[in-house]
Copies of this chain bind each other. A is one copy, B any other.
Amino acid sequence: MRTGQTHLFIPGPTNVPEKVRQAMNVPMQDMRAHDFGALTLPIFADLKRVFDTTTGTVFMFPGSGTGCWESAITNTLSPGDRVLMARHGQFSHLWVEMAERLGLAVDVIDVDWGHGAPADLFAEKLKADPAIRAVFVTHNETATGVTSDVAAVRGALDAANHDALLFVDGVSSVGCIPFRFDAWGVDLCVTGSQKGLMMPAGLGILCVSEKALEARKTARLPRAYFHWDDMLKTNATGHFTYTPPTQLFHGLRAALDLIFAEGLEAVFARHRRLATGVRRGVHAWGMTLCARDESLWSDTVSAIVVPEGVDANQVIRIGYDRYRTSFGSGLARLSGRVFRIGHLGDLNEVMCLAALASAEMALADAGARIELGSGVAAAQAWYRDATAAHALRLAAE
């Protein structure tokens, strides 16, 4: 018998705010009604604000971020096209795999898991090879808790005066940490509903530059479900090619309202504030993050390396079975070595303390030498200061 709230700290799906849950609880409606666009068109417009673009075009596909990876590729590239990718975690790995499956010639740079996308190596490759059609960056590698520098990759492209398309996986970054579609010259950015947008899974979201949109005209990869042409036509009036999950649009409407009421920059600041507390807790335990240095720390997910002799999978299992807490697991080569705390979406300080308190018990139960309460105390100290400072800042505004 499991009582009380579950404590969900996986890096997605994230906790859905009550307002969003309320909003999704709607009867079905006619998605071909003449006024359906009154619901959907403002959502498209507001998603552009979230991507920080005025020139991009947004698509919403019933599906997931993975589907939008495919949509981004098949609508802009052709069989055998040369693309440049880095592999430094499970999600960048999977994107490489997909690109190969779809028939691209992938030039993969393998990087230690725990590092980010290597803008410098990219720069070299780009200078050397004008035939590269696209560069792929995983903005926030959810498996390792590493945030890469997308602007630096744009810099590498510009330095090489290269016109390759810039693909970005923003699944666990968009809506959580600064993302600048226009400023960074991104061409395709993929995200999903179930992370920073605080929604259930079910919508893959894609933002596309004018250049990428143009590329569809010559792209020869086969595509149907994720075809842009059909969507462009129907989206113009706020309609869809096939039956969309209308309940998710109502939820997304509510989620976007929450985001803009708080303010996008305030959302980013909050993610940093909460993440810092979690990291202070981890360091107070004497443990380290998978992300190699501070500049790479992700504000949306922390991958924590467990001490020698401790099985991270056991930590996760104990957290789930005994303490109703869900942590993210170490994926692929990190299995057993790290567990992850997702700190993105609709969270607050006390929820993060609960995550740390639960993790401490699970770690101790799994055999780690850890002082109970130590991580909590370090995070509390930070949150007290940060909350006071935050309150002052709000008062001053």
On A, residues with C-beta under 8 Å from B are 1-8, 10, 12-18, 21-34, 61-67, 69-70, 98, 101-103, 192, 194, 200-202, 221-227, 241-248, 258, 261-263, 266, 270, 317, 320, 322-326, 328-329, 346-351, 353-354, 357-358, 360-361, 364-365, 371-374, 376-378, 380-381, 383-384, 387-388, 391
Contacts and interface: CB of A to CB of B under 8 A. Distances in A.
B243 A7 contact: no
Nearest first, the 9 A-B pairs at minimum CB distance are A373-B377, A4-B348, A373-B373, A30-B326, A1-B262, A13-B28, A202-B245, A353-B357, A354-B354
Nearest to A13: B28
A360 B380 contact: yes
Given A202-B245, A354-B357, A376-B376, A3 B262 contact: yes
Contacts of A225: 63-64, 66-67, 69-70, 225-226
Nearest to A73: B224
B245 A3 contact: no
Given A64-B243, A380-B361, A350 B7 contact: yes
Contacts of A2: 348
B194 A243 contact: yes
A381 B360 CA distance: 10
Given A16-B28, A25-B25, A361-B384, 20 more contacts: A3-B17, A7-B350, A13-B29, A13-B243, A22-B23, A28-B200, A62-B202, A63-B63, A64-B243, A65-B242, A66-B241, A102-B224, A201-B244, A322-B388, A324-B350, A354-B354, A357-B376, A372-B380, A373-B374, A373-B378
Contacts of A266: 1
A302 to B, nearest CB: 17
Nearest to A254: B22
Contact of A27 (B16, B61, B317, B329): B16
B1 A261 contact: yes
Contact of A354 (B27, B66, B194, B353): B353
Given A357-B376, A384-B365, A326 B29 contact: yes
Contact of A353 (B34, B347, B358, B387): B358
7 contacts: A1-B262, A3-B270, A4-B348, A10-B32, A22-B23, A66-B241, A192-B243
Nearest to A195: B243
Contacts of A200: 28, 245-247
